[in-house]
């Protein structure tokens, strides 16, 4: 049913945004919405929206628009949110702790382990998950099924951690370290490079001021 061939990265990157807006609409008890109304909210053109959603199947009805809950469920399912994911955090510094406190469980992400090398942190619990010694990581990966690892260690340790995760079967890494990880093709990495985002902002700020 779903047409998943040759979906461009640009479309994929927009899916979570649809997901967020549809969730908001549901929370505001909106039952249905036209691509035009959705366009006004989300900022993509109506034809862009129709095109995007057509990549994945036939949503929406002429003259009716989209059923919000149905579209939300479909996009959730396309994103893979109809499953649960076991996650771990490696690196319980500032950013690791912040991520641990995020309520990603709402979206189906179960945090099952947190690891750090700092003896002072070991044993501390964040949302019921105790921080373990990073030396336990390998055993933990062998004994537990981990779907996604969040790397929040300093730059110099990130590749080493990544190697250990990959060799023990982790297929998805959410990387907060300011480094591009070298991983095999069957491993997916999504980077959150904060400094790069801030530098982009500064560049655009200066361009805007020159106008």
Enumerate binding residues for a copy of itself (CB under 8 A). 4, 12-13, 15-17, 19-20, 42-43, 78-81, 85, 93-95, 97-99, 101-102, 104, 107, 109, 147-148, 171-172, 174, 178, 180, 186-190, 192-209, 211
- Closer residue to a copy of itself in complex, CB, 15/121: 15
Inter-CA distances, 124 with 92, 93, 154, 180, Å: 10, 12, 20, 30
User: Shortest distance, CB of residue 67 to a copy of itself, whole angstroms?
Assistant: 21
Cβ at position 164, least distance to a copy of itself in Å: 19
Shortest gap between Cβ of 32 and a copy of itself (angstroms)?
A: 22
Nearest Cα to Cα of residue 113 among 147, 83, 84:
147
110 assigned binding-site residue: no
Instruction: Please check if 123 is assigned to a binding site.
Output: no
- Give the pair of three-digit tokens for residue 183: 């991983």
| Residue 36 or 84 with smaller CB distance to a copy of itself | 84
Angle between helices 9-27 and 68-79 (to 10 degrees): 140
Choice between 13 and 120, CB closer to a copy of itself: 13
Distance between CA 100 and CA 103 in Å, rounded? Answer: 8
101/139 with CB nearer a copy of itself:
101
CB 56 within 8 A of CB 78: yes
Shortest separation between residue 108's beta carbon and a copy of itself, angstroms: 9
Q: Is 95 a known ligand-binding residue?
A: yes
- CA dist 113 and 88 (Å) reads 5
To the question of whether residue 100 is assigned a binding role by annotation, the answer is: no
Residue 155 C-beta: closest distance to a copy of itself, Å: 9
Closest to a copy of itself by CB, 124 vs 187, is: 187
Task: State yes or no: 94 annotated in a binding site.
Answer: yes
Q: How far is CA 203 from CA 149, 197, 200, in A?
A: 32, 10, 5
Handedness of CA 153, 154, 155, 160 (dihedral sign): negative
- Binding residue positions for NAD(+): 91-96
């Amino acid at each position: 049913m779903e047409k998943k061939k040759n979906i461009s990265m640009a479309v994929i990157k927009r899916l979570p945004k649809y997901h967020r807006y549809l969730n908001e609409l549901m929370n505001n008890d909106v039952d249905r919405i036209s691509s035009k109304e959705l366009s006004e909210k989300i900022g993509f053109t109506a034809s862009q929206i129709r095109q995007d959603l057509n990549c994945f199947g036939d949503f929406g009805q002429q003259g009716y628009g989209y059923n919000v809950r149905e579209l939300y469920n479909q996009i959730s399912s396309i994103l893979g949110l109809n499953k649960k994911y076991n996650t771990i955090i490696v690196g319980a510094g500032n950013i690791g702790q912040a991520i641990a406190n995020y309520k990603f469980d709402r979206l189906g992400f179960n945090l099952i382990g947190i690891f750090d090398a700092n003896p002072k942190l070991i044993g501390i619990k964040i949302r019921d998950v105790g921080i373990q010694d990073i030396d336990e990581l390998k055993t933990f990966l062998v004994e537990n099924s981990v779907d996604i690892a969040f790397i929040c260690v300093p730059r110099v340790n990130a590749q080493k951690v990544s190697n250990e995760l990959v060799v023990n079967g982790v297929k998805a890494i959410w990387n907060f370290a300011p480094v591009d990880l070298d991983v095999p093709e069957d491993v997916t990495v999504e980077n959150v490079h904060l400094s790069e985002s801030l530098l982009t902002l500064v560049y655009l700020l200066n361009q805007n001021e020159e106008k």
